[in-house]
């Protein structure tokens, strides 16, 4: 870190956040453009640590002010939240800034909410960037209304910055590795029914793929949970794996919106309180897998469920997997025919994933051709199914989910309804 | 009649009812857009509001005279930027000095210090303009500039914010290379400038010195002029000192940076441009102490020093150097090339870029099947390297060369594995005679003349049966002659106590004209299974087709050794034991016979065990590789407890031997081809360029047209996927070439340069060439040369399928499977060729996966217990294909062919020259299909 930065402005409030383990985050800041004084830092959040901080408050202030430089030229639409991302090698830091407009003391100001991390955490942070940004954008929208009402935005921001700090900290210790050893997964079993019921596994993976690879695995035994987590992560890309989290053995993490796969531990009473609203905020629908039910009673069909399309708090937001597929079924039928421990199954898995990715891209291209890149409505779903050999509903859902990740909005364009489970944010904002 | 609804339309809202206002309603400006992808929003239009048409690179500078200004764009087309305001965007991205650091005179230092600042990377956007950018900030040195620095930035501008962030690492890495190149060139130019300046200063000093001396001489030491001159001289001295220090600083950069573990000096990919540009051809971080740098300096045009003022005036009317002038020309052009490459790499829709990256990562994990349909040049090279490495390791374990050496290869002989009998081919001298004999002996129907004689097959609509029926099992003569010999040899080789290599030559020579390899027989006295121990990879009997036995439609697949000139069979054995497991196995070929039979696994189940991941054991376990080259004939009956013999004596033969044979033979094949016709040169069909996915996508359009136009397209593709050579016959070269291109997307193991495809041939082909060419475009000519071509077609009609595009007919075996239907659907609604190719590619990936499963499936290819015989194993394999994979007979044939290719590739690596490892053909009834 460089030194010799100008001293911090006198009245910068600071919140020290107690984070378990080592926090990769150096600080978070809220700054605004004062119409008289220029960039000013209003609040700093920093992890509480006994070790000396890598950045002094003065340096943090300097960096936070830096993020607002040039924003005097900003001509964004009202309500827009723009993201800036800095890798400042000279300072040895990376900064993520969300720039927005807000009312402070009756004046409209340009504001910046920033996260500051050491540059060494670049590879760690990048896969989580989208998760952090989406969550911060969400809280900023809430905060803008708060500001309009004349209240301080800081408390609103704190409600999300602290969980994000905890998330980043937990990902340092419990993230799923980029390369998963198939030996740590169910796919290393001698036979398909060894670890869990055959139908359970099929439904879990099928639903996992149909929900764009977004799943939560709940159970009482952390080893079992993590084995399923790793198994599901086999079907993700390396970047998505870095955005997945294993279950902690001692006590459960809280559910975090936006992760692809996360393992969650039940408490001593055998229950896990699921924040449904948080689940519905997730950018993709989520598969819910209860490992215990399967283990205890082998009730595969009831243990895998998927978040519903509409937000109905009084009803069960998860639905049982409706559509069966042939893709996952045949894969599971066949992969166990290969001898474990030789790498043959890894190769077979890679072929399966390649097939899914290619079929997804083909489907995307097919729709692109048919609709002239969305200029015409898509009316040939029947032909698509026949031409691309996707006559099974489950197969279509899996490939469509893969395509959705490639081209966001494709599902709703084709089917005319939102693919997403989340309650519309307007409703959320109105009700909070 | 006017009703109340009509009246309502004319009423005012406020007059009709008071509008309810929600007290909790938030102002419109705080409304949050609904979820961006809700409703029927067009997913392709989210980036369409940008004012530029496609991504581009912008280089901007923060000029000390005019502020931020755009310098150039890549591509350099005005229409790319459209109405996008480059000036405004430059202002936005350059408005902050992200590299703010001390430059100039640091405290306590009397003269300027250069600060080698690190590049900064920023992602920012302008949501209103719909423009997002990755901005790479860098600083160049300029002796004339304020603080000697000129801030620049290179920005990749896109309308897709997600692309920028998702590709951040790649963009950062590529732009860092460009930046490093530019900065290297700049340091070089800066050093040159300093040297020249020093020369100027020294020259000035000497002039001043003389003038001072003169002043002293004429006016005395304390005259005003003398004092002025002395001061001026002192200034020059000081300036020299400063410039020397600057030179020292700039030249010390590399040494300092090299110690930094993260420093990646720019390395020129192609030094060729340098000579054209008149620059030093090679890049080298220059250093004043470096001899090579001194050398390069000496090469520069001599510089004539000029008289300068000690301090150059900084004023706004001076002209700042352009970017090109700031940088050594060679490096500047290298940088521009790099930037053009970046633009090319990242242009287009993110989903294609991203999928391509995922594909590459996944393909790395399945090297064993990539050769079938993938376009992975890097991967082949890598695999080759691994094989080479493995080979190198193995060399130490090889038996002596004298033992392993094989007989000199004869170019005019050909080994038929059908009977393991070498068949002499005399292509030059006896060609006509052979043709004549062939025609007389087998009366093959002339494809061009006999079409009308064919009977209509009721089962195949619009198809005609050729009525040909040939069964080949083997000759009793050859069986009796050779069988026992080999068996006895095998028994001898069973003894684990004889580790030396034992070679046994089997001579059963006959001339081609005397004994035909095709024996028309339904003789039940010779059972193929009986032949297997002796000729394990030679015979493959297919099940009888539905046609009547009187027609002798008894299809057989056999194979010929791809090695023309291989007269001897050698059976080598040596080595120590290797622990392998017998339960998971596939067949293994001997080192001469490249087992191609679909039933090979059955025959050679005792020979090889695939118990390792291909990538790893290729390089990691040389003994295992050697193990795979065992002669299955020698060991098929060897294991007393059902264990393959290689478990007892695994190092029987090095893999190198077999590979050497393979390589040599392919060379000889090429040679032979070249000797018969100039058309036979082993040329790729795209003028030597590797066939890429891009090419294949282009071919996709013709392929789509073909499958829509011809109802028998499935049959044609079946031929290609099952390894049967397809000849496209036509008079018009363009049409033939186009169709060959179209069909080439279906050819397995097409080769890096399309070696398996002969795009255009205007002379008769030889049997040996069917080894290499699985798709041939043949010129139909009316001249006498044409008749010999017809002869060659007729002669090999049982090995090939012929697609006559002039008559729109296809003569080939029927296809009744379901696999190809998914890939080749006459009624497909796919609109574009590229989309169709993507669909084909997906289906081929699925095929690869199934073939891989079949090849490496546990407990499928070896007896599970000692008392299980080969029939049981064969039956298990068949059941697997029929019941597990649910394939019909024809689909099984595709699977078996692909499996054989995988097996060969696994055992021997990628064959040089793209030669297919096996020559397999089916004696199956061909039908004439008409549209």
**Model pLDDT for residues B28-81, shown as the tens digit of each residue:** 556 554 444 444 578 887 766 778 888 999 999 998 888 899 999 999 877 778
Q: Provide the pairing of β-strand A215-219 with A261-265.
A: parallel
* Minimum mean pLDDT range among B379-393, B424-438, B858-872: B424-438
The pLDDT score that the predictor gives to residue B543 is 36
- Joined together, the tokens standing for residue B413 give 């002989």
Q: Which residue from B27, B120, B161 is facing A88, i.e. has the nearest CB?
A: B120
Query: Does an H or E element contain B560, and which?
Result: strand B556-564
The interaxial angle of helices A129-148 and A154-174, nearest 10 deg, is 170
- In B698-779, DSSP assigns E strands to 725-730, 757-761, 775-779
H helices present in B768-865, as ranges:
769-772, 784-795, 819-823, 833-856
Q: Which residues of A touch B365 (CB under 8 A)?
A: 346-347, 350
Is the pLDDT at B869 greater than 90? The verdict is no
Which of A123, A338, A366 lies at the smallest CB-CB distance from B856? A338
Burial of B629 (C-beta count, 10 Å sphere; 0-12/13-18/19+): buried
Query: Distance, in angstroms, between A403 CA and closest chain B CA?
Result: 9
CA distance B348 to B346: 6
How far apart are the C-alpha atoms of B161 and A85, rounded to whole Å?
12
Most A-contacting residue of B362, B697, B876, B877 (CB-CB within 10 A), to test interface: B362
CA–CA separation, A325 and A320 (whole Å): 14
Highest mean pLDDT among A4-8, B49-53, B534-538: B49-53
Confidence of residue B735 (pLDDT cuts 50, 70, 90): very high
Measured between CB atoms, does A144 come within 8 Å of chain B?
Answer: yes
Six token digits for residue B825? 């659907």
DSSP symbol at B33: P
**In the numeric block, which tokens belong to residue A192?**
């398909």
Mean pLDDT of B902-907: 87
d(CA B724, CA B718): 8
pLDDT digits (tens, 9 = 90+) for B302-311: 778 777 765 5
Task: Please judge whether A406 and B830 are an interchain contact, meaning their C-beta atoms are less than 8 angstroms apart.
Answer: no
DSSP E strand boundaries for B588-660: none
Beta B421-424 vs B510-511: how paired, if at all? parallel
Please identify among residues 165-204 of chain A the ones whose CB lies closer than 8 Å to any CB of chain B.
none
A339: closest chain B residue by CA: B858
Cβ of B363 within 8 Å of Cβ of A354? The answer is yes
Task: Sort out which chain A residues have CB atoms less than 8 A from B834's CB and list them.
Answer: 365
Q: What single DSSP character describes residue B885?
A: S
Q: Of the candidates B176, B169, B93, which has an alpha carbon nearest to the alpha carbon of residue B129? A: B93
- Cβ contacts of B835 on chain A, cutoff 8 Å: 362, 365-366, 369
Instruction: Using alpha carbons, select from A19, A348, A401, A420 the residue that is nearest to residue A240.
Output: A401
Substitution target from A399, A409, A414, A420 for chain B, most B beta carbons within 10 A? A409
Inter-chain touch B122–A144, beta carbons under 8 Å? no
**Selection from A279, A60, A256, A55 nearest residue A169 by Cα:** A256
Distance between CA atoms of residues B267 and B275, nearest Å: 16
**Measured between alpha carbons, how far is A394 from A326 in angstroms, rounded to an integer?**
7
In contact, B784 and B690? CB cutoff 8 Å: no
CA–CA distance from B281 to each of B186, B277, B296, B302 (Å)? 16, 9, 10, 19
Q: What are phi and psi of B353, to 5 degrees?
A: -65, -45
Q: Do B849 and A82 touch (CB under 8 A)?
A: no
Instruction: Reply yes or no on whether the pLDDT at B402 is more than 50.
Output: no
Higher pLDDT, B399 or B848: B848
- Residues of chain B in contact with residue A352, where contact means CB-CB under 8 angstroms, are 849
> B99, B183 in Cβ contact below 8 A?
no
What's the ipTM?
A: 0.90
β-strand pairing of B757-761 with B775-779: parallel
Residue A338 pLDDT class (50, 70, 90 cuts): very high
Contact B716, B803 (CB under 8 A): yes
pLDDT of residue A50: 74
Question: Are the Cβ atoms of A85 and B101 closer than 8 angstroms?
Answer: no
The reported pLDDT for the residue numbered B24 is 56
Query: What is the end-to-end Cα distance of chain A in Å, rounded?
Result: 41
Please state whether the predicted TM-score (pTM) of the whole model is above 0.80.
Answer: no
Higher pLDDT, A396 or B77: A396
Residue of B nearest to A423 (CA): B35
pLDDT beyond 70 at B612: no
Q: What 3-state class would DSSP assign to B887?
A: coil
pLDDT, averaged across chain A: 84
Whose structure tokens read 């004994």?
B515
Q: Do A90 and B101 touch (CB under 8 A)?
A: yes
Q: Cβ distance B632 to B644 under 8 Å? A: no
Q: What is the pLDDT of residues B208-235, one digit of tens each?
A: 888 878 877 777 777 777 788 788 888 8
Note the pLDDT of residue A4. 46
**A73/B91 CB distance under 8 A:** yes
Instruction: Return d(Cα A135, Cα A164) in angstroms, integer.
Output: 8
User: In terms of pLDDT, which residue wins out, B341 or A275?
Assistant: B341
C-beta atoms of A369 and B835 within 8 A: yes
Provide, as residue numbers in chain A, all residues whose Cβ is less than 8 Å from the Cβ of B838.
358, 361-362, 365
Average pLDDT over residues A45-72: 81
**Gap from A343 CA to chain B (nearest CA, Å):** 5
pLDDT at B862 over 50: yes
Nearest to A358 among B117, B829, B841 (CB): B841
The three-state secondary structure class of B335 is helix
Is A273's Cβ below 8 Å from some Cβ in B? no
Q: Tell if the CB–CB gap between B613 and A88 is shorter than 8 Å.
A: no
Q: Is A429 on the interface with B (CB under 8 A)?
A: yes
Q: Which residues of B touch A420 (CB under 8 A)?
A: 35, 37-38
Chain B touched by A350 (CB under 8 Å): yes
Three-state DSSP class for residue A86: strand
Do B872 and B604 meet the contact criterion of CB atoms below 8 Å apart?
A: no
CB contact under 8 A, A357 and B828: no
- Give dist(CA B199, CA B239) in Å, integer: 12
Q: Which of A104-118, A184-198, B214-228, B501-515 has the lowest mean pLDDT?
A: B501-515
Beta bridge partners of B572: none
B154 pLDDT tier (thresholds 50, 70, 90): very high
Record: contact B34-A148, CB cut-off 8 A? no
What residues of B are in contact with residue A373 (Cβ under 8 Å)?
42, 44
In sign, the C-alpha dihedral spanning B699, B704, B707, B709 is: negative
Residue B647's pLDDT band (boundaries 50, 70, 90)? very low
Mutation choice for A interface testing from B842, B858, B859, B862 by most A CBs within 10 A: B842
Is A368 at the interface with chain B, CB within 8 A?
yes
- Neighbouring CB atoms inside 10 A of A10's CB total 5
Q: Which residues pair with B9 in a beta bridge?
A: none
Cβ distance B27 to A407 less than 8 Å, yes or no, reads no
Tokens of B203: 């020259």
DSSP assignments along A337-388, one per residue: TBPTTSSHHHHHHHHHHHHHHHHHHHHHHHHHHHHTTTTS----HHHHHHHT
Give the minimum alpha-carbon distance from B122 to chain A in angstroms, rounded to a whole number. 4
Tokens 């392709």: give the residue.
B44
Residue A14 confidence (pLDDT):
87
Q: What is the pLDDT of residue B646?
A: 30
DSSP secondary-structure letter at B883? Answer: I
Strands (E) across B142-260 are located at 149-158
User: At B100, is the pLDDT very low, low, confident or very high (cuts 50, 70, 90)?
Assistant: low
Which of the four pLDDT bands, split at 50, 70 and 90, describes residue A11? low
Q: Which value, to the nearest 10 degrees, does the dihedral of the CA atoms of residues B842, B847, B853, B856 take? A: -120
Whether B104 and B249 have beta carbons less than 8 Å apart is answered as no
Determine, for residues B36 and A87 on separate chains, whether the beta-carbon distance falls below 8 Å.
Answer: no
Yes or no, beta carbons of A342 and B125 under 8 Å apart: no
Is pLDDT larger for residue B775 or for residue B928? Answer: B775
DSSP structure string for A87-156: EETTTTEEEEEEEEEEEETTEEEEEEEEEEEEGGGHHHHGGGHHHHHHHHHHHHHHHHHHHHTT--SHHH
**Residue B261 or residue B775, greater confidence:** B775
- Note whether A429 contacts B26, CB cutoff 8 Å: yes
A151 touches chain B (CB under 8 A): no
Question: B107-126 b/e with 16+ CB inside 10 Å = b?
Answer: eeeeebebbebbbbbbbbbb
**Which residue does chain B place closest to A356, by CA atoms?**
B842
Chain A residue with minimum CA distance to B93: A70
Residue to mutate among B22, B24, B27, B40, with most A CBs inside 10 A, is B40
What ranges in B220-271 are assigned the alpha helix state H? 224-258
Residue A407 has pLDDT above 70, yes or no: yes
Name the helix (H) or strand (E) containing B62.
strand B56-63
What is the tens place of the pLDDT at every residue in B806-823? 888 998 888 988 899 989
* Partners of B150 in the β-ladder: B140
* pLDDT score of A392 more than 70: yes
Give the list of residues 6+ apart from residue A270 with CB closer than 8 angstroms, or none. A220, A292
CA B190/CA B116 separation, integer angstroms: 13
The band of B263, judged by pLDDT with boundaries at 50, 70 and 90, is low
Query: Which of A86, A386, A406 is opposite residue B355, by nearest beta carbon?
Result: A406
Contact B359 A354 (CB under 8 A): yes
pLDDT at B125 exceeding the cut of 80: yes
Distance to chain B for A333, nearest Cα, Å: 9
Q: How far apart, in whole angstroms, are the C-alpha atoms of residue B436 and residue B434?
A: 5
Q: HSE-up of B157 (CA within 13 Å, CB side)?
A: 34
Question: Minimal Cα–Cα distance from A221 to chain B, Å?
Answer: 32
Closest CA to B40 of A370, A426, A405, A417: A417
Residue, of B147 and B898, whose pLDDT is higher? B898
Phi-psi category of residue B147: left, alpha or beta, with phi > 0 → left and psi -120 to 50 → alpha: left
Residue of A nearest to B38 (CA): A418
Question: Worst-scoring range by mean pLDDT, A64-68, A165-169, B38-42, B590-594?
Answer: B590-594
Using CB atoms, pick whichever of B611, B830, B856 lies closest to residue A387.
B830
Tell me if B845 and A84 make a contact (CB, 8 A cut-off): no
CB B552 within 8 A of CB B612: no
Q: What is the pLDDT of residue B256?
A: 55
Structure tokens at B328: 């050594």
For residue A386, the chain B residue with the least C-alpha distance is B828
Q: Do A69 and B95 touch (CB under 8 A)?
A: yes
Strand partners, B157: B56, B133
CA distance B704 to chain A (A): 12
- Of the two residues A272 and B478, the one the predictor is more confident about is A272
> Where are any strands of DSSP class E within A274-360?
287-290, 304-307, 318-320
> How far is the C-alpha of B135 from the C-alpha of B60, rounded, in Å?
10
Rounded Cα distance, A154 and B394, in Å: 68
> How high is the pLDDT of residue B660?
33
SS (H, E, C) A1-69: CCCCCCCCCCCCEEEEECCCCCCCCCEEEEEEEECCCEEEEEEEEEECCCCCCCCCHHHHHHHHHHHHC
Range among A393-397, A418-422, B219-223, B432-436 rated most confident: A393-397
- Percentage above 70 pLDDT, chain B: 52
What pLDDT sits at residue B463? 40
Instruction: Return the residue of A nearest to B617 by Cα.
Output: A342
Contact (CB, 8 A) for B743 and B810:
no
Nearest CB to B358; choose among A357, A365, A410: A357
């Amino acid at each position: 870190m460089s030194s010799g930065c100008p001293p911090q402005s006198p009245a910068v409030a600071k919140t020290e956040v107690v984070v378990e383990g080592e926090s990769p985050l150096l600080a978070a800041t809220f700054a605004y453009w004062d119409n008289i004084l220029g960039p000013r830092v209003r609040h700093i959040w920093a992890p509480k640590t006994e070790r000396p901080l890598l950045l002094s408050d003065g340096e943090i202030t300097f960096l936070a002010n830096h993020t607002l430089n040039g924003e005097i030229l900003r001509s964004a639409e009202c309500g827009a939240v723009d993201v800036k991302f800095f890798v400042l090698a000279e300072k040895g830091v990376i900064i993520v800034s969300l720039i927005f407009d807000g009312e402070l003391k009756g004046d409209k100001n340009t504001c910046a909410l920033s996260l500051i991390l050491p540059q060494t955490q670049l590879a760690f942070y990048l896969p989580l960037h989208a998760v952090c940004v989406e969550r911060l954008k969400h809280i900023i929208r809430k905060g803008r209304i708060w500001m309009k009402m004349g209240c301080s935005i800081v408390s609103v921001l704190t409600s999300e910055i602290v969980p994000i700090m905890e998330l980043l900290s937990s990902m340092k210790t419990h993230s799923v590795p980029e390369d998963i050893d198939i030996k740590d997964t169910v796919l290393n079993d001698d036979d398909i029914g060894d670890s869990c019921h055959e139908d359970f596994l099929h439904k879990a993976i099928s639903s996992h793929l149909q929900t764009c690879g977004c799943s939560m695995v709940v159970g009482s035994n952390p080893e079992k949970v993590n084995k399923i987590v790793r198994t599901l992560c086999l079907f993700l890309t390396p970047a998505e794996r870095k955005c997945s989290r294993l279950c902690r053995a001692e006590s459960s993490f809280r559910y975090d919106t936006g992760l692809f796969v996360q393992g969650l531990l039940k408490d001593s009473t055998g229950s896990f309180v699921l924040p449904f609203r948080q689940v519905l905020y997730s950018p993709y629908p989520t598969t819910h897998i209860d490992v215990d039910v399967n283990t205890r009673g082998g009730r595969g069909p009831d243990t895998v469920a998927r978040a519903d399309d509409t937000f109905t708090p009084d009803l069960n937001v998860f639905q049982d997997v409706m559509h069966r597929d042939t893709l996952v079924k045949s894969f599971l039928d066949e992969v166990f025919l290969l001898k474990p421990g030789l790498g043959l199954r890894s190769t077979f898995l890679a072929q399966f994933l390649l097939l899914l990715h290619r079929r997804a891209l083909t489907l995307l291209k097919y729709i692109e051709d048919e609709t002239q890149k969305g200029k015409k409505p898509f009316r040939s779903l029947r032909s698509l199914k026949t031409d691309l050999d996707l006559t099974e509903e489950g197969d279509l859902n899996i490939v469509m989910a893969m395509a959705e990740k490639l081209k966001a909005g494709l599902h709703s364009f084709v089917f005319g309804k939102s693919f997403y489970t989340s309650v519309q944010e307007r409703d959320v904002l109105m009700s909070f | 009649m006017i009703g109340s609804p009509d009246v309502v339309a004319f009423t005012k809202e406020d007059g009709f009812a008071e509008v309810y206002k929600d007290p909790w309603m938030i102002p419109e400006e705080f409304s949050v857009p609904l979820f961006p992808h809700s409703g029927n929003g067009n997913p392709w239009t989210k980036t369409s509001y940008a004012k530029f048409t496609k991504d581009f690179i912008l280089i901007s500078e923060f000029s000390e005279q005019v502020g931020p200004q755009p310098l150039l764009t890549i591509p350099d087309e005005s229409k790319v930027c459209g109405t996008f305001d480059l000036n405004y965007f430059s202002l936005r991205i350059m408005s902050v000095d992200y590299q703010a650091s001390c430059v100039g005179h640091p405290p306590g230092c009397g003269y300027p210090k250069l600060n080698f600042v690190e590049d900064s990377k920023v992602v920012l956007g302008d949501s209103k303009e719909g423009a997002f950018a990755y901005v790479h900030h860098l600083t160049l040195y300029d002796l004339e500039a304020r603080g000697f620095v000129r801030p620049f930035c290179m920005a990749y501008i896109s309308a897709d914010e997600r692309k920028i962030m998702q590709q951040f690492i790649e963009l950062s890495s590529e732009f860092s290379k460009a930046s490093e190149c530019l900065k290297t060139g700049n340091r070089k130019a800066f050093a040159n400038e300093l040297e020249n300046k020093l020369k100027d200063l020294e020259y000035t000093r000497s002039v001043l010195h003389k003038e001072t001396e003169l002043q002293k001489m004429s006016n005395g030491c304390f005259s005003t002029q003398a004092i002025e001159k002395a001061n001026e001289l002192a200034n020059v001295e000081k300036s020299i000192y400063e410039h020397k220090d600057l030179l020292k600083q700039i030249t010390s950069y590399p040494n300092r940076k090299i110690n930094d573990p993260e420093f990646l000096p720019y390395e020129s990919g192609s030094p060729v441009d340098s000579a054209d540009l008149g620059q030093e051809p090679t890049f080298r971080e220059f250093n004043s102490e470096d001899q090579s740098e001194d050398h390069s300096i000496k090469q520069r045009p001599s510089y004539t020093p000029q008289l300068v003022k000690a301090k150059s005036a900084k004023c706004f009317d001076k002209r700042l150097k352009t970017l090109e002038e700031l940088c050594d020309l060679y490096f500047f052009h290298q940088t521009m090339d790099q930037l053009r490459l970046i633009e090319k790499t990242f242009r287009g829709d993110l989903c294609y870029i991203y999928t391509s990256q995922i594909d590459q990562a996944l393909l790395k994990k399945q090297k064993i099947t990539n050769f079938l349909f993938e376009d992975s040049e890097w991967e082949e090279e890598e695999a080759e390297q691994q094989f080479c490495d493995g080979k190198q390791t193995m060399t130490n374990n090889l038996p002596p060369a004298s033992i392993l050496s094989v007989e000199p290869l004869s170019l005019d002989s050909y080994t038929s594995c059908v009977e393991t009998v070498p068949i002499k081919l005399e292509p030059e001298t006896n060609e006509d005679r052979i043709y004549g004999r062939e025609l007389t002996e087998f009366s093959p129907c002339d494809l061009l003349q006999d079409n009308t004689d064919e009977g209509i097959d009721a089962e195949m609509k619009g198809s005609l049966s050729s009525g040909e029926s040939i069964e080949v099992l083997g000759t009793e003569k050859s069986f009796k002659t050779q069988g026992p010999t080999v068996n006895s040899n095998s028994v001898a080789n069973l003894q684990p106590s004889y580790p030396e290599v034992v070679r046994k030559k089997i001579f059963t020579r006959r001339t081609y004209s005397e004994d035909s390899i095709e024996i028309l027989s339904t003789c039940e006295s010779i059972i193929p299974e009986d032949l297997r121990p002796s000729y394990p990879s030679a015979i493959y009997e297919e099940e009888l087709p539905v046609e009547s036995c009187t027609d002798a439609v008894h299809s057989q697949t056999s194979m010929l050794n791809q090695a023309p000139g291989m007269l001897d069979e050698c059976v080598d054995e040596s080595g120590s034991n290797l622990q392998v497991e017998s339960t998971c196995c596939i067949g293994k070929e001997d080192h001469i016979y490249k087992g191609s039979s679909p039933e090979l696994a059955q025959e050679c189940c005792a020979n090889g065990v695939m118990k390792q991941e291909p990538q790893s054991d290729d390089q990691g376990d040389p003994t295992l590789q050697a193990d795979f080259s065992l002669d299955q004939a020698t060991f098929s009956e060897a294991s007393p407890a059902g264990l393959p013999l290689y478990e007892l004596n695994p190092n029987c033969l090095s893999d190198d031997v077999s590979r050497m044979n393979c390589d040599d033979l392919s060379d000889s094949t090429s040679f032979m081809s070249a000797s018969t016709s100039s058309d036979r040169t082993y040329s790729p069909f795209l003028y030597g360029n590797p066939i890429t996915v891009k090419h294949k996508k282009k071919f996709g359009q013709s392929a789509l047209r073909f499958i829509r136009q011809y109802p028998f397209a499935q049959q044609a593709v079946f031929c290609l996927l099952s390894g049967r050579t397809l000849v496209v016959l036509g008079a018009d070269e363009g049409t033939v070439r186009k169709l060959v291109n179209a069909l080439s997307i279906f050819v397995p193991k097409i080769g890096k340069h399309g070696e398996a495809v002969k795009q255009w041939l205007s002379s008769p082909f030889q049997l040996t060439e069917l080894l290499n060419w699985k798709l041939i475009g043949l010129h139909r000519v009316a001249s006498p040369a044409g008749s010999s071509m017809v002869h060659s077609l007729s002669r090999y009609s049982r090995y090939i399928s012929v697609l006559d595009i002039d008559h729109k007919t296809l003569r080939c075996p029927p296809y009744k499977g379901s696999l190809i239907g998914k890939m080749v659907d006459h009624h497909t609604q796919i609109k574009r060729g590229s989309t169709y190719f993507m669909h084909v590619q997906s289906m081929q990936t699925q095929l690869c996966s199934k073939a891989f499963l079949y090849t490496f499936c546990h407990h499928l290819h070896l007896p599970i217990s000692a008392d299980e015989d080969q029939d049981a194993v064969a039956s298990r394999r068949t059941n697997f294909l029929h019941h597990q994979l649910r394939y019909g007979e024809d689909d099984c044939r595709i699977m078996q062919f692909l499996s054989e290719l995988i097996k060969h590739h696994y055992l021997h690596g990628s064959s040089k020259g793209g030669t297919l490892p096996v020559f397999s053909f089916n004696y199956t009834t061909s039908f004439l299909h008409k549209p």
